[in-house]
Chain A
């Protein structure tokens, strides 16, 4: 607690005709050596206001004003610099030898946070200025309403510190996770690990303080670069100061108890495409593999990047509605049941062959052959570029839709996935989250979606991609569903303004001066900008609906293993040969299985069949893994010869008019 013995006046409000106090701003002076600085919260008591009573809740009659310091000035009684030169006889060294130090002033400007009483709103009285205590900070930031209510919704975010004093700062869960407001956006230069660390700490704080009466909460984190989020379940190194801050904030310093990792395979279909491949950890990573159905549902993601058109869209809809997962007659006598990319490719071949056999015709079931070719190219492209995420054959391995667990982090590692695949993963996961939350059958009531590099997914400029539209929808309507976006980016100005504008809570780490010169930061004073440009690691500026001014807070280092440290402590394993990778995956499901058993079983078997069988085992989780694997492998259709993607020859010279 802030020691009340230290809470004597530290300054006094001054007002002149040129620098008057107003209802929203005031000026005060302090001694030269003061703990006051930019971002400090102060309390002004009007003469006759009386002192804080025990407990800090009520006061005697009189106006009390809370403010946050936004600007500081220092000057001496020196009329012109020339007089200093004359006094020192032109020698800078002699200036320091003057027997007397000139009178100087520390004059501060503060923005009003709150006035009590709030009505009538009046200029700030010319009273004494005190450093804010715990209770003052709670009142100044209007935290008292959700901190001490019957059903508290306070989420610790960090410690406000000034003048050697500190006080916890809380966010209101109603305004952080909905439904009143929602979403959080965090900006800051890269390389300081502040953004990721802040989100990790805040999610931990949410998991520990999210009120039970508001339901169950989970977090879905997209790991889009490096190993940042790969070790959330492992304890990191904390310093004593970090532990003290945890204790002060009422948050337990421990790694996340429940973390589920998902990562696609590499192109070989058996080695996971993640940095969490150390033998001790890789068993906790689940594969993320999708088939044709999952891709077709979000085909717009693949097509809208450059040349989407209504015809291609219509053809994809036709495939999804009329072809997929049902018997289909191609019009040339062929019967198809399309469940996989391979099936679909057979259908395309049949169509092209059929049209060629019929002679000069460019149309198939009202779809022009050029459109069909375009769609085929895009779909085959995704299965090539995202091989490992998208399987040519077989059903998918997916997130546990409908079985999300309370206070669990779901990390989806797409750091090494092609950008197109990242878009697909992001679009599909968020869309499925939305669908389930709408139906209230996800397993949790609120989901935090953490997306780094938001400027890539929702740029301020550029085309209207499916992902950008989805993020806009999420930021504008997600709070009603319990779908909350925690977005991070280096430059806020490069993110779509509706995405950042809808973030009820905005957090700023160290900022680049060029970024601070953009219009979005005009409301900040020059001193606040300078502070932002030089913020140390672990300090943030926070804007929250309850706070009328930005507040600087310090947060402890997250209690999880940092990505870089994790990679050093758990170095990723080298890719295993195909047979060994399959054997290891089966051994993880059943420790009785010996590698040689698996190797013997899959010898001379086509890899596609092995992958298909392995996927079936992972989905089924049978008691006798090896027997089931043998059965699935043996029962499957004989392996097809290795296919190479062949270009389909044109039916006839294509006219200039494609349709």
Chain B
């Protein structure tokens, strides 16, 4: 945390691996996607009312200080030894603080460079070169090797796990020193971290809605929520590691787009106070829809400060992680 950016030595280990006999490669996945909720009916337990209701948001609450946490992940295959890929990955997370001047400044950040591969699948020379390079190695399971598609999906999950870990670590460190009047807004779920899930002034903002908590009329009410309204507070069920409360919030009218347009799911600590504060907190988050987080295509659900954190982190990513024009041309022609 706070250490010098780890990219400076990156080329050396990549070159060392290639020099040791691995075939150089260039493959960049479609996108360094964020976390995806499980696409399953998870279920929920209402903690506000007896059925899922629609509540108007309440204006007036604006914390003087707020911080926003997000993380990024970038990875690419940089070599093959046989059919075993060697992946170079970068994960980073940062908190940007906003005070009275309404400007965001970086308060905390961390990044890790990783080599993702299966050491047992590498030749002794390549493995030796990789181990001597000093880069942090993330091991793939033996079962993940084989067809490239399966291996690359495993690599993606491994990198995503590292990114979640980085976010959790940064978030917990920042939350530990959160000022009395300061709130922390996390991009994604809180339930991965006990500390974050218990904190009274930490919110999770979930943009993806693969997990299904309601069915029938309740689902319809949730997904047809009008703008500037929220649903009743509920306790999500399912894979959540730590208990949180949650509720839906609509930033923009969905009519003319799709049901998920402008729809957020908010996570907060599982406490009666959170229920009482839901409408006020929702009013604050509703105000955060301006300025628009354009040009990001997810701007209808992406809060500008979260977008800003992502922009900040991406600005510090080495160019090697971004596909250059012509990068898919045959190497011999380059």
Q: What is A's interface to B at a CB cutoff of 8 Å?
A: 77-80, 83-84, 86-89, 94-95, 97-103
Contact = CB atoms under 8 A, between A and B. Distances in A.
Q: Which of B287, B291, B292, B304 neighbours the largest number of chain A CB atoms within 10 Å of its CB?
A: B291
20 contacts: A77-B311, A78-B294, A79-B295, A80-B294, A83-B291, A86-B292, A87-B289, A89-B290, A97-B287, A97-B290, A98-B102, A99-B98, A99-B102, A99-B305, A100-B102, A100-B103, A101-B103, A102-B291, A103-B104, A103-B308
Nearest to B63: A99
Contact of B294 (A79, A95, A98): A79
Interface in B261-299: 284, 287-292, 294-295
**Residue of B98, B101, B102, B305 ringed by the most chain A CB atoms within 10 A:** B102
A101 B102 contact: yes
Contact of A98 (B101, B284, B290, B295): B290
A87 B311 contact: no
A99 B294 contact: no
Nearest to A95: B290
Nearest to B62: A99
Interface in B284-334: 284, 287-292, 294-295, 304-305, 308, 311
A99 B287 CA distance: 7
A98 B292 CA distance: 10
A614 B321 CA distance: 97
A95 B284 CA distance: 16
A125 B102 CA distance: 34
Nearest to B305: A100
A79 B311 CA distance: 14
Contacts of A78: 291, 294
A100 B304 contact: yes
A82 to B, nearest CB: 9
A584 B294 CA distance: 85
A87 B300 CA distance: 11
Given A99-B62, A100-B305, A103-B311, A83 B294 contact: yes
Nearest to A96: B102
Contact of A101 (B62, B101, B287): B101
Contacts of B66: 99
A84 B291 CA distance: 7
B288 A100 contact: yes
Contacts of A80: 294
B315 to A, nearest CB: 10
Contacts of B305: 99-100
Contacts of B62: 99
B285 to A, nearest CB: 10
Contacts of A101: 101-103
A6 B290 CA distance: 37
A83 B102 contact: no
A100 B98 contact: yes
Contacts of B101: 101
A100 B96 CA distance: 12
Which of B102, B287, B289, B292: most chain A Cβ within 10 A? B292
Contacts of B289: 87
B103 to A, nearest CB: 5
Contacts of A98: 102, 287, 290-291, 304
B294 A100 contact: no
Contacts of A86: 292
A94 B291 contact: no
A100 B292 contact: no
Contacts of A87: 289-292
Interface in B86-116: 98, 101-104
Given A98-B102, A99-B288, 4 more contacts: A77-B311, A89-B290, A98-B287, A99-B287
B312 to A, nearest CB: 9
A94 B102 contact: no
Contacts of B287: 97-99
State the 3 A-B residue pairs at the shortest beta-carbon distance, nearest first.
A87-B290, A98-B290, A79-B295
A118 to B, nearest CB: 33
A83 B311 contact: no
Contacts of B294: 78-80, 83
A137 B295 CA distance: 42
Interface string B225-239: 000000000000000
A78 B299 CA distance: 12
B226 to A, nearest CB: 15
Contacts of B102: 98-101
A165 B305 CA distance: 36
Contacts of A102: 291, 304
Contacts of B292: 83-84, 86-87
A88 B304 CA distance: 14
A103 B305 CA distance: 10
A498 to B, nearest CB: 54
Contacts of B308: 100, 103
B187 to A, nearest CB: 15
A78 B98 CA distance: 19
A100 B295 contact: no
Nearest to B98: A100
Q: Which of A80, A100, A102 has most B Cβ within 10 Å?
A: A100
Contacts of A100: 98, 102-104, 288, 291, 304-305, 308
A97 B60 CA distance: 12
Contacts of A103: 104, 308, 311
A88 B295 contact: no
A166 B298 CA distance: 49
Given A99-B62, A100-B305, A100-B308, A94 B295 contact: no
Nearest to B308: A103
A565 to B, nearest CB: 47
A102 B304 CA distance: 8
